[in-house]
Amino acid sequence: MVENEGIRRYVAHAILWIGIAIVAFPVYLAFVASTQDNAAIANGQMSLLPGGHFLETYYKTLFVGSSGTTREPVGTMLLNSLIMALSIALGKIFISILSAYAIVFFRFPFRMTVFWIIFITLMLPVEVRIYPTYKIAADLNLLDSYSGLALPLIASATATLLFRQFFMTVPDELMEASRIDGAGPFRFFKDTLLPLSRTNMAALFVILFIYGWNQYLWPLLITTRDDMQTIQVGIRKMIVTSDALTEWPVVMATSILAMLPPVLVVIVMQKLFVRGLVETEK
Amino acid sequence: MANVVLRNVRKTYPGGVDAIKGVDFEVGDGQFCVLVGPSGCGKSTLLRMVAGLETITSGEIDIGGRVVNQVEPADRDIAMVFQNYALYPHMSVYNNMAYGLRNRGMAKPEIDKRVREAAQILEIGPMLDRKPKQLSGGQRQRVAMGRAIVRQPKVFLFDEPLSNLDAKLRIAMRVEIRKLQRRLSTTSIYVTHDQLEAMTLADILVVMNGGVVEQIGNPLDIYQKPATTFVASFIGAPPMNLTPFKPGEASIAVPGNTGGILGVRPEDLTLTTGTASDGGIRYDLTVEAIERVGAETFVYGSRNGAKEAAAVSSKPGELPPGEIIVRLPGQAAPAIGERIVAVAPRDKLHIFGADGRSRIEL
């Protein structure tokens, strides 16, 4: 056992490094491509080392837009995506924490029925209910608007379930102590439940932000104007399939930019995120 | 300062379970009342009804001359200490104590004064800035008490506050709770399943079983004159020896010459070689087990001739039939298997009716 330890560690590390390489290489390649001259990529003579067009390409991508089209620059798309992802994440947390609060702490008729109805919506993701949802959004004049992008995705059974599970671990005595301390339902929620849910909310925010950021189908349907486009849809539209030349450096730069916000969110909230998932202390 | 009166209080849960089947008692101003009974006897439910955390199906609860059946817990002028303390985990000790006062809109300097006063009484001054999870069990208990004290309520309610502490701390806190209650002279109702805690703390002891009150009174009166066999076996450790007898069977003269149940406390039995005098009781025993606890020794004997453990007793705290406990002072004890004779004088005997519900005075 003891003499094997060294070899085992090397093998384990080697496997991990190979894994990292497999995941990281495409990202690296995208970054390198975004700094090259478009001609070099089109020729198939792309170097594996970063080229000298970094500032130029990123400036063009963010503020000018790809040439030959009338597309909006990526800056606008990033902003649209950010607004959409933030509204979805915050909206989902807001709605689901309130519904979980109602389901766990209040006794009202058909409480369990309500819970099961919420639960069943897990089986109805956007893809399944796309036509009725689109119809409603269109009827409500939500096409090409931020509310149209975010609202239909805000209801969340997953988040409601997560908060419900957490609330059920809160001892009843805490609520009773609050009642004796003169805190009504709203005060108990604000002063006790919210602070206790902080880490859960952070963990959910990370997951939901990425969920919102990665939406493709819904934004594709609901937005027709270029200035309302999200970055996920924008990338696809940049890749020209007709006779024009695709501007690969700009596409790659857009991809890199599209990856950054979720990465930033994860890095910034990592500590809270992990605590939210493993913490049991009450 | 207030008295608490319960008038024919009942609690029926939806689904038809009767948790409290009509309870009447009164706790005078400044008195310390202890509700004691086995698990599931309804004592905690009753306390929670006084607190307002459970609704009252029928009857009245009166705190300080005001019927509070429909009053919210916060407006009943009570404070409660919970078994698991129920401290707010995200608040500092200071804020835990101040929270209830802030919700009442009390002025800041007054809150500060009360919290510091309570902290000083409970000796938790240096911990005011800490979070509950940084405190030991005993310290959390003190904070929970502090939260009750700062309210300066009419009534303190304690729901088994010491059962999460270790044995030594429990005894120390028990004494402190009593001292504190004397000092503040606030009416208190205290729930416990520990009969020792009940005996030592209570001004008035309320023994409950199965949703009804078995006996109410001064702890020593209850100990000396238990009204039912349940009280007899529940109060006192080890429990009273209870043996059924048929009419005419016992060596004692019972008024009316009926059958019944004979009780004798382990400490009232003495070992002898002779017979019982003045109409007392005599047990011929074979020693089965011995427990030495230092200052005293408990001898478990089976009665010669009695069918051994014919059925396991279903009532809590009761011995298997045929087994008798004798408490001997000191450490001297007979050997296991030895035959002994234990006797008790007539004035130490307790006689109950055959159903165990009534006490017959000799």
| Nearest of B250, B233, B257 to residue B318 by alpha carbon | B233
Does residue B322 carry a pLDDT above 80? no
pLDDT at B314: 43
Contacts 24+ apart (CB under 8 A), B118-121: B118/B146, B118/B149, B118/B150, B119/B93, B119/B146, B121/B146, B121/B149, B121/B180, B121/B183
| Residues facing B32 on adjacent strands | B188
By CB neighbour count within 10 A (0-12 exposed, 13-18 middle, 19+ buried), where does A11 fall? exposed
Does residue A55 carry a pLDDT above 70? yes
Does residue B276 carry a pLDDT above 70? no
Say how far apart CA A164 and CA A151 lie, in whole Å.
Answer: 22
Residue A17 maps to a domain: no
Does residue B250 carry a pLDDT above 70? no
The size of chain A, in residues, is 282
Q: Give the number of other Cβ atoms within 10 Å of residue A262's Cβ.
A: 17
pLDDT band at B309 (very low <50, low <70, confident <90, very high): very low
Say how far apart CA B31 and CA B181 lie, in whole Å.
Answer: 9
Test mutation, A105, A174, A180, chain B, max B CBs within 10 A: A180
Q: Which residues contact B44 (CB under 8 A, 6 or more apart)?
A: B159, B160, B191
Asked if the Cβ–Cβ distance from A176 to B82 is below 8 Å, we say yes
Q: Which residues contact B228 (CB under 8 A, 6 or more apart)?
A: B214, B215, B352, B356, B357, B358, B359
pLDDT above 90 covers what percent of chain B? 46
pLDDT at B228: 92
| Nearest of A167, A198, A203 to residue A185 by alpha carbon | A167
Asked if the Cβ–Cβ distance from A181 to B74 is below 8 Å, we say yes
Establish if A170 touches chain B: CB-CB under 8 angstroms. no
- Average pLDDT score, chain A: 86
Query: Among all residues of chain A, which has the CA nearest to that of B71?
Result: A180
Are β-strands B212-217 and B359-360 bridged in parallel, bridged antiparallel, or unpaired?
unpaired
Asked if the Cβ–Cβ distance from A180 to B74 is below 8 Å, we say yes
pLDDT at A225: 85
pLDDT at A243: 66
Q: Which residues contact A167 (CB under 8 A, 6 or more apart)?
A: A100, A101, A104, A105, A193
Quote the number of domains for chain A.
Answer: 1
CATH number of the domain within which A115 lies = 1.10.3720.10
Which domain covers residue A145, as residue numbers? 35-278
Are β-strands B4-12 and B18-27 bridged in parallel, bridged antiparallel, or unpaired?
antiparallel
- Average pLDDT score, chain B: 86
| Nearest of B239, B230, B267 to residue B359 by alpha carbon | B230
Q: Copy the structure tokens of residue B214.
A: 């078995």
pLDDT band at B312 (very low <50, low <70, confident <90, very high): very low
Q: What is the pLDDT of residues A101-153, one digit of tens each?
A: 999 999 889 999 999 998 888 888 888 888 998 999 999 998 888 998 898 88
Q: How far does the CA of residue A176 sit from the closest CA of chain B (Å)?
A: 7
Asked if the Cβ–Cβ distance from A192 to B90 is below 8 Å, we say yes
For residue B206, the one-letter residue type is V
Query: Among all residues of chain A, which has the CA nearest to that of B100?
Result: A181
If you compute the radius of gyration of chain A from its CA atoms, what whole number of angstroms results? 24
Question: Collapsing DSSP states into helix, strand and coil, what is residue B265?
Answer: coil
Q: How far does the CA of residue A167 sit from the closest CA of chain B (Å)?
A: 14
If you compute the radius of gyration of chain B from its CA atoms, what whole number of angstroms results? 24
Q: What is the pLDDT of residues A29-48, one digit of tens each?
A: 989 888 888 877 877 777 88
Residue A25 maps to a domain: no
Question: Collapsing DSSP states into helix, strand and coil, what is residue A38?
Answer: helix
What is the SS3 assignment for B172-233? HHHHHHHHHHHHHCCEEEEEECCHHHHHHHCCEEEEEECCEEEEEECHHHHHHCCCCHHHHH
ipTM of this model?
0.81
pLDDT above 70 covers what percent of chain B? 90
In which element (H, E) is residue B294 found? none
Q: What is the pLDDT of residues A194-243, one digit of tens each?
A: 999 988 898 889 999 999 999 998 998 888 888 888 888 888 888 776 66
Asked if the Cβ–Cβ distance from A179 to B74 is below 8 Å, we say yes
pLDDT at B163: 87
Does residue B316 carry a pLDDT above 50? no
H-only helix segments in chain B: 43-51, 93-103, 108-122, 137-149, 167-184, 195-201, 219-224, 229-234
Residue A30 maps to a domain: no
Q: What is the pLDDT of residues B24-42, one digit of tens each?
A: 999 999 999 999 999 889 9
Query: Among all residues of chain B, which has the CA nearest to that of A173?
Result: B86
pLDDT at B219: 94
Residue A28 maps to a domain: no
